[in-house]
Amino acid sequence: MKRRLFSLIELLLNWVVMTLYTKPKCICALFSHKEYWRHASYFPEKKSKPQCRVFFEQLKYIIKDGAPNEYYFMYGLDVKGDKEASEYVNYAPFMKRRDELNLKSIHNSTCLLRNKFYFGLIAEKLGISTPHIIAYIRNGHVYLVDVKTEMSLDDFVISGDYDMFCKVIDGECGKGIFALQIRSGKIFENGIEISLVHFRNDVSSATFICQEKVVQHHEMDRLYDKSVNTIRLVTIRSLKDGEIKTIPPILRIGANGSIVDNTSQGGIAVGFDISTGRLDEYGIYKPNYGLKTREHPNSHIVFSTFIIPFLKESIEMAIRFHTFFLDIHSIGWDIAITENGPVFIEGNDNWEINGHQDGNHGLKKEFMEYFFNE
């Protein structure tokens, strides 16, 4: 009885906050942030809706979902009719339901995904190929994993030569990542020599893990060689029978000198045929970096001519890996492809649906089936 009462009170409070604060705030933002309804079309070859109609459609999203559709133009909704637009899932209701299912309890295994150190150890233990962890850096000290030795940063830079990739242990969206080389006591970040003081400052703000560099498959390198380009594959545990399903994946490709492939850092998302691995016609940028493109801006490879190697193996391994995370409903895997097959970079319980709708089509049907149909 008490639990039901608390649930009703929670629902009432959420409704009050949404009605009296969140929605009015979003409506005000709609007037001040004109990019929600005034933006270059990703599909200039098609006739766009008038700006006033786009404005009112965004207003409808706020009234219905409590937030505007920030991916409105990336989805091409400015050139699509109501029926086709209704097939797309807005981010706000998706995120709410994703977290309801993935974070049912504070005592679940999402921490094993969000902590890249734990993720790497578990993957290795389960026989899942993942970049080997060489060290982690915390509070000015380095712990070398293989030899189980802790030392200061000063001693670390003279302890040997290293060629590694360093990441914030719980970082997201490609932030806090850099290539680290140490040669004869000299330190290089992303190929630029820096001082020990500079290095200490760079790693003082967080805990970092240092992994061996992934050497990607020559085909992936041909596509773009400055970053490790990864498949983002989402696996979902069926609410009906527990079977692991997938939704249409995307390939994320770095561009224009970036060492990461994240679209939030200027990368490109391209959908592909899950049965053949052949890329779709267009790749999509996030708004600050561009619109859509048929070819890679640096390698000039036409996307529709490119086929991803080891795709079948990647899907099979992702489904197998998910079976060990019994209490997590959906996981977004980042998978690199090497000459020897797939390598799992990380798994994300807080994955985003927008890239999969950018590079494919609306996923309302899959969302309703996999996230509500019990």
Lowest mean pLDDT among 10-24, 29-43, 62-76, 293-307: 10-24
Q: What pLDDT shows up at residue 281?
A: 94
Task: Output b/e per residue, 318-327; b: 16+ Cβ within 10 A.
Answer: bbebbeebee
The arithmetic mean of pLDDT across residues 162-183, rounded, is 88
Closest CA to 332 of 358, 360, 356: 356
Map tokens 């080997």 to a residue: 132
- Identify the pLDDT of residue 15: 73
Residue 286's pLDDT is what? 87
Radius of gyration of the chain (CA): 22
What number is the average pLDDT over the span 172-180?
83
Mean pLDDT of the chain: 91
pLDDT above 90: residue 142: yes
Average pLDDT over residues 118-126: 93
What's the pLDDT score for residue 359?
63
Q: What is the pLDDT of residues 148-157, one digit of tens each?
A: 999 999 999 9
pLDDT tier, 6 (very low <50, low <70, confident <90, very high otherwise): low
* Low-confidence winner among 48-52, 202-206, 269-273, 306-310 (lowest mean pLDDT): 202-206
pLDDT in the model for residue 162:
93
pLDDT at 63: 93
Look at 361 and 6; give whichever has higher pLDDT.
361
Question: What span, in angstroms and rounded, lies between the C-alpha atoms of 161 and 196?
Answer: 15
The confidence band for 1, taking pLDDT boundaries of 50, 70 and 90, is low
Domains and CATH numbers, the chain: 2-90 (no CATH), 133-212 (no CATH), 216-371 (3.30.470.20)
Q: Is the model's pLDDT at 89 over the cut of 70?
A: yes
pLDDT for position 176: 81
pLDDT tens per residue across span 312-361: 999 999 999 999 998 999 999 999 999 999 999 999 999 999 989 986 68
Mean pLDDT score, 228-236: 97
Global model pTM greater than 0.85: yes
Output phi, psi for 346, to 5 deg: -165, 170
d(CA 192, CA 359): 35
Q: What percent of the chain lies above the pLDDT cut of 70?
A: 97
Average pLDDT over residues 177-185: 92
- Mean pLDDT to the nearest integer, 69-98: 93
Span between the terminal Cα atoms of the chain, in Å:
25
pLDDT in tens, 14-27: 777 778 788 899 99
Region 199-228 average pLDDT: 94
The pLDDT, as a whole number, for residue 18 is 76
**Could you tell me if 162 and 134 are in contact, meaning their C-beta atoms sit under 8 angstroms apart?**
yes
Pick 10 or 311 by higher pLDDT.
Answer: 311
Which residues partner with 132 through β-bridges? none
